[in-house]
């Protein structure tokens, strides 16, 4: 029986539950002996001109090994969009948390004392602390830099064409905020740098992609790539915000060279919440129009992306535009996007990166349209779904969808939840004037995975003792990919899991790779491993043919027993992997491949949220969350469901609680976990998952990505549910997060208006 | 100052600055890095250990306060023969961890919970673990793990 598709506990867990694993701050490598500790002095002001920095007193503090500012650096600033971002601020700081100086000390506890003595003179400038302030252009972050106002990028229509909405019976327009959130991996950012006597830099980094980090750091330091080795040890969460290397990582390498000693850095949580990139932060204005029978004729989204102080990720609104129509066969889709800069922390990828924003917008729009024409939200969706027979389907925004069963996914979710009964309960409670209102929220979604159009590396070695080592270019950090890949190999080669080792995240072991983001790992990294194993099997077939004096095509690999034999003659002589490898007079059979056809896949699903809203206090409680998530065939149901649980947790948190806030001067007001509403166990329900599997034809495994899917569906499901709970009281829309205060205020507004 | 603390049944001692936190003593002086640090405000619970059998966040205890006391960390959870603690087994069986960073603290808090309440309901587990943050799992499987460790049936 095949191990693939069965529930297998993770091979990763043993060390994590016994010794707690080895994260970057846990490293006790010999190469780090005598390391100094690093801290970044960061701007406490959102927008200011630096008129002077005095480091003399800091340099005299106990244990100080070095204090560096921009004047000491010989690094070219990083290009970010049409502007550049300095490693340490030069003349102007543009957000609270921007690095201004780097301090190195002998002992960890000396860092904060010394950093306080770096004396920076700031002449405050007006802060641009919101999208509206950025668009007004009154204060510019990059005056005279060839940038108009604060707009860094414009895509799509200059003027929208209203004719598309001319034949509609109903048209609805709404501005929907997708709030800024903090990725907040539980392990903060950190790294260690050491130069070897051979002139090579080794950097241990909490990163999702050691190879991208190597390219970035080598580029920043002006080194050939082979002079930099990056190792990702155990990584305590990334969620997109640890893709590659942040500027701080390059500075660690620079500083280690400057002082001639290894350097260790671990940021604090408040640094993490102000200086690690944030996610989302879009203001989307949607217009939807159609017929009273539910048919949508045209959909428009005008995206404004708050990029923060430096536009590090202008692909985010582009992805939102592409995924704008979601699961629907809208005849006309109009999009535009603008990236603006503000005096806030830079925005970059966060679980879903551009797609949750698209889904949140279109799923709110569908509910608004349904309410306008007086139709059930589930029914409006059914009318407009792309149908199974229409795949592959190209959307008006260029999405090249592979396969989908959108109506079936929604039906499964509604059936599992008992939708009709829930609606009946809602009616009863409304009729009885129950102060605790019931709300039902639907989100049907499709997302793009492996959408970066690059492939992934995979190498499989079978050793003389019959054990297997696989090297993957993916770089898991909690996803359980090592277990999934070992399962694939066990299935294909007939080798038990205990004899399979999966390696990743070290550029010396895996020189070519893209890494983990965009839910790409199994479909690309897994396919690469499968292809490499196929090649090893082909090599073995030739060797086995020589040994058994048979034609290669007459041989078969018995994967139950892990032996080669003549087909149809199971009692004949068999050869195990060890025998075959030794016959080759090599230490290992090996194949090293690159898999990728450049085509993404499109997982989909439907979520239904049931919430209870206390109309007297505004408190929202998620009573149930039913999720259908279809990412094709499942390799390991354990990790597949685990990824969905995690996604649901983060998605629900965004709808209900999480938001990074700034005051009008650009001061962050959510800079600790005491202020930032991180979701705890008490706010979440037990999740109800329904499985469904529609394969893709775009990779060797038929699989699609699952890492981000549940985040994407759950946010609008919960958001819609909260609005639905209040609909009978006259609330039409409410922005996220639907905190008690916001819900209460909305109710108060409608009560006053009535 | 000089402190002497029994960690996982073994006497440890070291000369540390007065302001040394217990978590740094465990990690840097004793060399047990299983106890993690996730925040500055005693909010995340990643550093939870048992202090004379009670769960505490070791980022809020001075090493000096632990002088002469007993501390158990994740490294001391399994038996001397390497046999996993029921909580460790349950976290693995129920997939109660993903990246693993919160896991040591989460397991130590769970051990403490089960000592106080040997058969908690799922709701009680959720409430008891409110001081331990996890970013990966959505908590569902952590709750299942604690229920399994209590000896109750878990519906997968």
Is the pLDDT at A586 greater than 80? The verdict is no
Q: Check CB contact of A418 with chain B, cutoff 8 Å.
A: no
Q: Please, what is the average pLDDT of chain B?
A: 97
Complex-level ipTM beyond the 0.95 threshold? yes
- Across the interface, whether the CB atoms of A477 and B34 are under 8 A apart is answered no
**Given strand A201-205, what is the order of strands in its sheet?**
A64-69, A99-105, A36-42, A263-266, A190-195, A201-205, A228-231
pLDDT at B156: 58
Is the pLDDT at A553 greater than 90? The verdict is yes
Q: Which of B41, B78, B100 is the closest to A674 by Cβ? A: B41
Interface of A with B in 705-744 (CB under 8 A): none
pLDDT at A570: 67
Q: Please, what is the average pLDDT of chain A?
A: 96
Residue A619: partners with Cβ closer than 8 Å, 6 or more residues away: A613, A740, A743
Residues of B in contact with A13 (CB under 8 A): 91-92, 97, 100
pLDDT at A562: 94
Residues of B in contact with A185 (CB under 8 A): 99, 101, 135
| Percentage of residues of chain A with pLDDT beyond 70 | 100
Summarize the confidence of residues A625-638 as an average pLDDT. Answer: 98
Is the pLDDT at A49 greater than 90? The verdict is yes
pLDDT at A147: 85
- Across the interface, whether the CB atoms of B142 and A682 are under 8 A apart is answered no
pLDDT tens string A87-107:
999 999 999 999 999 999 999
The answer to whether the bond into A737 is cis (omega within 30° of 0) is yes
pLDDT at B155: 77
DSSP E strands in A601-650: the ranges are 604-614, 620-630
> What is the CATH topology of the domain spanning B2-75?
Ubiquitin-like (UB roll) (3.10.20)
Confidence tier at A492 by pLDDT (50, 70, 90): very high
pLDDT at A59: 98
pLDDT tens string A387-415:
999 999 999 999 999 999 999 999 999 99
- Across the interface, whether the CB atoms of A478 and B136 are under 8 A apart is answered yes
> What is the CATH topology of the domain spanning B86-149?
DNA polymerase; domain 1 (1.10.150)
Q: Check CB contact of A645 with chain B, cutoff 8 Å.
A: yes
B21, B62 contact by CB (below 8 A) = yes
Q: Which residues of A332-364 are buried (b: 16+ CB within 10 A; e: fewer)?
A: bbbbbbbbbbbbbbbbbbbbbbbbbbbbbbbbb
- Across the interface, whether the CB atoms of A13 and B143 are under 8 A apart is answered no
Domain boundaries, chain B: 2-75, 86-149
CB atoms within 10 A of CB A155: 15
Q: How far apart are the first and last CA of chain A?
A: 66
pLDDT at A585: 78
Confidence tier at B67 by pLDDT (50, 70, 90): very high
Q: Which of A25, A109, A681 is the closest to B17 by Cβ? A: A109
- Across the interface, whether the CB atoms of B35 and A687 are under 8 A apart is answered no
Domain boundaries, chain A: 279-449+600-753, 456-595
What CA–CA distance (Å, rounded) separates A178 from A175?
Answer: 10
pLDDT tens string A107-123:
999 999 999 999 999 99
pLDDT at A33: 97
Interface of A with B in 5-24 (CB under 8 A): 7, 9-10, 12-14, 16-23
Q: Check CB contact of A637 with chain B, cutoff 8 Å.
A: no
| Percentage of residues of chain A with pLDDT beyond 90 | 95
Count chain A–chain B contacts defined by CB atoms under 8 A: 181
Collapse the DSSP code of A266 into the 3-class scheme (helix H, G, I; strand E, B; otherwise coil) and give the result. strand
A507, A211 contact by CB (below 8 A) = yes
Residue B27 DSSP class? I
A14-18, A143-147, A339-343, A349-353: which has the minimum mean pLDDT?
A143-147
pTM over 0.95: yes
> What is the CATH topology of the domain spanning A456-595?
Aldehyde Oxidoreductase; domain 4 (3.30.365)
Confidence tier at A650 by pLDDT (50, 70, 90): very high
In the block, tokens 């560096």 appear at: A68
pLDDT tens string A454-491:
999 999 999 999 999 999 999 999 999 999 999 999 99
* Cα dihedral B27, A68, A191, A259 sign: negative
Alpha-carbon separation of residue A591 from A29, A470, A471, A512, A746 (angstroms): 31, 10, 10, 14, 61
Q: Which of B19, B91, B138 is the closest to A646 by Cβ? A: B138
Question: What would you report as the CA-atom Rg of chain A, rounded to the nearest whole angstrom?
Answer: 28
- Across the interface, whether the CB atoms of B138 and A236 are under 8 A apart is answered no
pLDDT tens string B31-40:
999 999 999 8
Interface of A with B in 245-284 (CB under 8 A): 266, 268-270
Is the pLDDT at A144 greater than 90? The verdict is no
What CA–CA distance (Å, rounded) separates B70 from B66?
Answer: 7
pLDDT at A202: 98
Shortest distance between the Cα of A269 and any Cα of chain B, in A, equals 5
- Across the interface, whether the CB atoms of B130 and A479 are under 8 A apart is answered no
Residue A26 DSSP class? G
Q: Which of A108, A480, A648 is the closest to B138 by Cβ? A: A648
Shortest distance between the Cα of B88 and any Cα of chain A, in A, equals 6
Is the pLDDT at A718 greater than 70? The verdict is yes
Q: Which of B20, B44, B125 is the closest to A186 by Cβ? A: B44
Candidates 1.10.287.110, 3.30.590.10, 3.30.365.10, 1.10.10.10; CATH matching A279-449+600-753: 3.30.365.10
Shortest distance between the Cα of A14 and any Cα of chain B, in A, equals 8
Q: Which of B74, B92, B129 is the closest to A9 by Cβ? A: B92
Shortest distance between the Cα of A575 and any Cα of chain B, in A, equals 35
Confidence tier at A554 by pLDDT (50, 70, 90): very high
Confidence tier at A575 by pLDDT (50, 70, 90): very high
Q: For chain A, how long is the longest CA-to-CA vector? A: 91
Residues of B in contact with A687 (CB under 8 A): 138, 140
When scoring B39, B134, B138, B143 by the number of chain A Cβ atoms within 10 A, the one with the most, hence best to mutate, is B138
Q: Which of B38, B97, B103 is the closest to A269 by Cβ? A: B38
Residues of A in contact with B140 (CB under 8 A): 645, 649, 684, 686-687
Q: Which of A22, A270, A684 is the closest to B139 by Cβ? A: A684
Quote the tokens at residue B95: 């997939």
Residues of A in contact with B93 (CB under 8 A): 9
- Which ranges of A293-376 does DSSP label H, i.e. alpha helix? 315-322, 355-373
In the block, tokens 């439907």 appear at: A606
**Given strand A555-558, what is the order of strands in its sheet?**
A555-558, A563-566, A575-576
Q: What angle do CA A475, A477, A482 make, to 5 degrees?
A: 65
- Across the interface, whether the CB atoms of A186 and B99 are under 8 A apart is answered yes
pLDDT tens string A271-329:
999 999 999 999 999 999 999 999 999 999 999 999 999 999 999 999 999 999 999 99
């Amino acid at each position: 029986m095949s191990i693939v598709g069965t529930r297998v506990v993770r091979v990763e867990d043993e060390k994590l539950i016994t010794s707690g694993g080895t994260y970057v701050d846990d490293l006790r490598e010999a190469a780090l002996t005598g390391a100094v500790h690093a801290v970044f002095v960061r701007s406490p002001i959102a927008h200011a001109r630096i008129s002077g920095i005095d480091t003399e007193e800091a340099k005299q503090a106990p244990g100080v090994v070095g204090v560096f500012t921009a004047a000491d650096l010989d690094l070219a600033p990083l290009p970010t969009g049409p502007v550049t971002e300095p490693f340490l601020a030069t003349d102007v700081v543009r957000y609270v948390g921007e690095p201004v100086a780097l301090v190195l000390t002998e002992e960890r506890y000396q860092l904060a004392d010394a950093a306080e003595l770096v004396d920076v003179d700031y002449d405050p400038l007006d802060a641009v602390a919101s999208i509206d302030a950025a668009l007004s252009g009154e204060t510019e972050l990059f005056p005279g830099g060839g940038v108009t106002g604060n707009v860094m990028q414009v895509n799509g229509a200059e003027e929208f064409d209203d004719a598309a909405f001319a034949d509609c019976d109903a048209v609805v327009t709404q501005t929907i905020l997708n709030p800024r959130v903090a990725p907040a991996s539980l392990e903060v950012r950190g790294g260690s740098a050491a130069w070897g006597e051979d002139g090579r830099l080794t950097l241990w980094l909490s990163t999702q992609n050691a190879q991208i980090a190597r390219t970035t750091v080598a580029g920043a330091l002006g080194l050939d790539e082979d002079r930099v080795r990056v190792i990702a040890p155990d990584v305590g969460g990334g969620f997109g915000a640890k893709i590659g290397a942040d500027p701080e990582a390059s500075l660690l390498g620079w500083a280690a060279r400057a002082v001639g000693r290894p350097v260790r850095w671990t940021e604090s949580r408040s640094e993490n919440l102000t200086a690690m990139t944030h996610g989302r932060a879009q203001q989307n204005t949607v217009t939807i129009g159609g017929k009273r029978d539910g048919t949508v004729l045209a959909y428009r989204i005008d995206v404004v992306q708050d990029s923060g102080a430096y536009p590090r990720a202008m692909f985010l609104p582009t992805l939102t535009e592409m995924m704008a129509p979601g699961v629907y066969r809208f005849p006309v889709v109009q999009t535009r996007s603008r990236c603006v800069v503000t005096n806030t922390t830079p925005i970059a990828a966060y679980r879903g990166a551009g797609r949750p924003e698209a889904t949140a917008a279109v799923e709110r729009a569908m509910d608004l349209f349904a309410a306008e024409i007086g139709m059930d939200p589930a029914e409006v969706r059914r009318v407009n779904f792309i149908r199974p027979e229409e795949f592959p389907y190209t959307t008006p925004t260029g999405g090249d969808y592979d396969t989908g069963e959108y109506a079936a996914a929604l039906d499964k979710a509604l059936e599992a939840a008992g939708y009709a009964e829930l609606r009946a309960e809602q009616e009863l409670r409304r009729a009885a004037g129950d102060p605790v209102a019931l709300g039902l929220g639907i989100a049907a979604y499709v997302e793009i995975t492996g959408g970066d159009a690059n492939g992934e590396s995979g190498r499989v070695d079978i050793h003389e003792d019959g054990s297997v080592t696989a090297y993957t270019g993916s770089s898991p950090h909690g996803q359980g990919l090592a277990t999934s890949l070992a399962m694939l190999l066990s299935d294909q080669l007939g080798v038990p899991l205990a004899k399979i080792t999966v390696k990743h995240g070290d550029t010396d072991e895996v020189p070519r790779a893209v890494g983990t983001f965009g839910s790409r790992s199994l479909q690309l990294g897994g396919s690469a491993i499968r292809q490499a194993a196929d090649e090893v099997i082909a090599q073995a077939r030739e060797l086995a043919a020589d040994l058994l004096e048979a034609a290669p095509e007459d041989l078969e690999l018995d994967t139950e027993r892990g032996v080669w034999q003549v087909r149809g003659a199971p009692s004949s002589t068999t050869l195990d992997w060890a025998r075959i490898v030794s016959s080759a007079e090599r230490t290992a059979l090996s194949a090293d491949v690159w898999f990728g056809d450049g085509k993404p896949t499109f997982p989909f699903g439907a979520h239904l949220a049931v919430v209870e809203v206390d109309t007297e206090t505004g408190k929202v409680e998620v009573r149930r969350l039913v999720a259908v998530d279809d990412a094709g065939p499942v390799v390991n149901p354990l990790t597949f469901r685990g990824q969905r649980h995690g996604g649901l947790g983060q998605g629900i948190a965004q709808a209900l609680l999480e938001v990074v806030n700034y005051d009008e001067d650009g001061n962050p007001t959510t800079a600790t976990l005491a202020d930032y509403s991180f979701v705890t166990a008490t706010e979440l329900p037990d999740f109800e998952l329904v499985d469904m599997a529609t394969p893709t034809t775009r990779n060797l495994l038929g699989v699609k990505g699952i890492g981000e899917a549940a985040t994407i569906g759950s946010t609008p499901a919960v958001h819609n549910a909260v609005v639905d709970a209040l609909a009978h009281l006259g609330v039409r829309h409410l922005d996220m997060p639907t905190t008690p205060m916001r819900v209460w205020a909305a109710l108060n507004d409608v009560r006053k208006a009535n | 100052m000089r402190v002497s603390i029994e960690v996982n049944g073994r006497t440890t001692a070291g000369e540390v600055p007065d302001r040394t936190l217990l978590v740094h003593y465990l990690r840097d002086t004793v060399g047990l890095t299983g106890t993690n640090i996730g925040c500055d405000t005693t909010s995340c619970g990643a550093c939870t250990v048992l202090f004379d059998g009670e769960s505490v966040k070791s980022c809020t205890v001075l090493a000096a306060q632990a002088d002469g006391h007993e501390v158990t960390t994740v490294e001391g959870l399994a038996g001397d023969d390497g046999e996993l603690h029921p909580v460790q087994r349950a976290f693995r069986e129920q997939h109660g961890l993903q990246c693993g960073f919160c896991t040591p603290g989460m397991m130590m808090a769970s051990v403490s919970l089960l000592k106080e309440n040997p058969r908690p309901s799922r709701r009680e587990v959720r409430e008891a673990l409110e001081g331990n943050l996890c970013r990966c799992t959505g908590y569902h499987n952590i709750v299942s793990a604690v229920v399994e460790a209590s000896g109750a049936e878990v519906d997968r």
